[in-house]
C-alpha cells in the first residue's frame, strides 16, 4: 500500500526571536528559510504578530521576494493583517487567535463563536486566491464551523497532546485521530502543528489524514546542537517513518 508523504512547513519565527534579542540583523530568518528549503522543507511559515515580537514586516517582504516554495502567513484576524495579506498574497494564510500577553499561541480559534466576523474575513482572503487555514483545537464543533465558513483547510492544535503524558496524552491523540477523520469526511484538508518534536512526530504522522505539519520552535532549538539542515532532515525522516513511507532506490514510495 502506498502512502502520501506529509509536507513540512518550517516555522522560522524563533530565528527572528534570537535576532531581535540584540536588535541587529543576525541571525537572519530569511536566510534560515532558504536553508530550510535546501534541507527539504516544502514550505515556510511565519507569524506576523501584532506586536512584531519576532517576524517583521520587512521579513515578510523579503520572504515573498526570495522564496520559491509557498509561504504560509500566520496571522490574527485583524484589519491590519488583512491589508498586509491582500498586499502580499501569500500561498496560504493560517488564522490564529492572538493575545498580547501570551508566550505562544495558546489555544485554537473559536470559529463557531466568531462566525459572523470570520465568515466575510475568510471570504476576502479566498477571493484573493489565498488558501485559508483555521488553527483550531481538535473539536467537532470547531471543525464543522470551519467547514461551514468555507475554510480551505484546518490546522489542528497539537500543543495539548504534546504537553500531556500517559493516559491524558492517549486521550488527546484519540481526539486528534477522530478530528482528522471528521475533516476527511467533510472533504476538508487537515494539517497539524504546535509543539511537535522528535518524540511526538511519528505518532502524529501515523494519522493518515494529515497532509502537512508546521513545526518551528523545536527545529530551531535543535539546530543549536546539530545545525538547521540536520534538524530538518531528521524530522522529515521521522515523519516518513511514522507515515510508513520509505524511498526505494528509484525514489518511489513503498511500504
Ligand atoms: N502552527 C501554528 C498555527 C502556530 O501558531 C505555531 C506557533 O507559531 C506553530 C504551528 C508552530 O509551533 P511550534 O513553534 O511549537 O513548532
Residue 179 lies in a domain: yes
- Which cell numbers hold the place of 6? 506529509
Instruction: Characterize 198-235 residue by residue with b for buried, 16 or more Cβ atoms within 10 angstroms of its Cβ, and e for exposed.
Output: eebbbebbbbebbbbbbbbbbbbebbeeeebeebbebb
| pTM of the predicted protein model | 0.94
**CATH number of domain containing 98:** 3.20.20.70
Annotated catalytic residue 249: no
Cα–ligand 1 centroid distance for 194 (angstroms): 4
Residue 255 lies in a domain: no
Residue 44 Cβ contacting ligand 1 at under 6 Å: no
For residue 214, the cross-strand partners are: 9, 193
Query: 3-state class of 57 per DSSP?
Result: helix
Q: Which of 237, 232, 229, 234 is nearest to 214 (CA)?
A: 232
Annotated catalytic residue 47: yes
Residue 2 lies in a domain: no
Residue 191 lies in a domain: yes
Residue 45 lies in a domain: yes
Residue 31 lies in a domain: yes
How many domains does the structure of the chain reveal?
Answer: 1
Separation CA 200–CA 179 (nearest Å): 18
Structural domain that includes position 82: 7-246
Cα–ligand 1 centroid distance for 66 (angstroms): 22
CA distances to 63, 65, 209 from 184, rounded to whole Å, are: 31, 34, 7
Per-residue pLDDT 10s for the chain (255 aa) are: 345 899 999 999 999 999 999 999 999 999 999 999 999 999 999 999 999 999 999 999 999 999 999 999 999 999 999 999 999 999 999 999 987 667 777 789 999 999 999 999 999 999 999 999 999 999 999 999 999 999 999 999 999 999 999 999 999 999 999 999 999 999 999 999 999 999 999 999 999 999 999 999 999 999 999 999 999 999 999 999 999 976 554 445 544
C-alpha 12: how far from chain center: 11
Separation CA 145–CA 151 (nearest Å): 9
Mark residue 53 as left, alpha or beta (left: phi above 0; alpha: psi -120 to 50; beta: remaining): alpha
Residue 96 lies in a domain: yes
Amino acid at each position: 500500500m502506498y502512502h502520501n508523504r506529509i509536507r513540512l512547513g518550517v516555522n522560522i519565527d524563533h530565528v527572528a526571536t534570537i535576532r531581535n534579542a540584540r536588535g541587529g540583523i543576525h541571525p537572519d530568518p530569511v536566510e534560515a528559510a532558504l536553508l530550510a528549503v535546501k534541507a527539504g522543507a516544502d514550505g515556510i511559515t511565519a507569524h506576523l504578530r501584532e506586536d512584531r515580537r519576532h517576524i517583521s514586516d520587512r521579513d515578510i517582504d523579503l520572504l515573498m521576494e526570495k522564496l520559491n516554495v509557498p509561504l504560509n502567513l500566520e496571522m490574527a484576524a485583524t484589519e491590519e493583517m488583512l491589508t498586509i495579506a491582500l498586499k502580499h498574497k501569500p500561498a496560504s494564510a493560517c488564522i490564529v487567535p492572538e493575545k498580547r500577553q501570551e508566550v505562544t499561541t495558546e489555544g485554537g480559534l473559536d470559529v463557531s463563536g466568531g462566525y459572523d466576523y470570520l465568515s466575510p474575513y475568510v471570504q476576502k482572503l479566498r477571493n484573493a486566491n489565498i488558501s485559508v487555514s483555521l488553527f483550531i483545537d481538535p473539536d467537532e464543533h470547531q471543525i464543522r464551523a470551519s467547514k461551514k465558513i468555507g475554510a480551505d483547510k484546518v490546522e489542528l492544535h497539537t500543543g495539548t497532546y504534546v504537553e500531556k503524558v500517559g493516559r491524558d496524552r492517549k486521550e488527546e491523540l484519540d481526539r486528534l485521530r477522530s478530528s482528522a477523520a471528521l475533516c476527511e469526511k467533510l472533504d476538508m484538508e487537515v494539517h497539524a502543528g504546535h509543539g511537535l518534536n522528535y518524540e511526538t512526530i511519528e505518532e502524529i504522522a501515523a494519522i493518515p489524514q494529515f497532509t502537512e505539519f508546521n513545526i518551528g520552535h523545536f527545529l530551531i532549538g535543535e539546530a543549536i546542537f546539530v545545525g538547521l539542515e540536520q534538524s530538518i532532515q531528521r524530522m522529515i525522516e521521522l515523519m516518513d517513518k511514522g507515515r510508513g513511507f520509505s524511498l526505494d532506490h528509484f525514489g518511489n514510495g513503498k511500504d
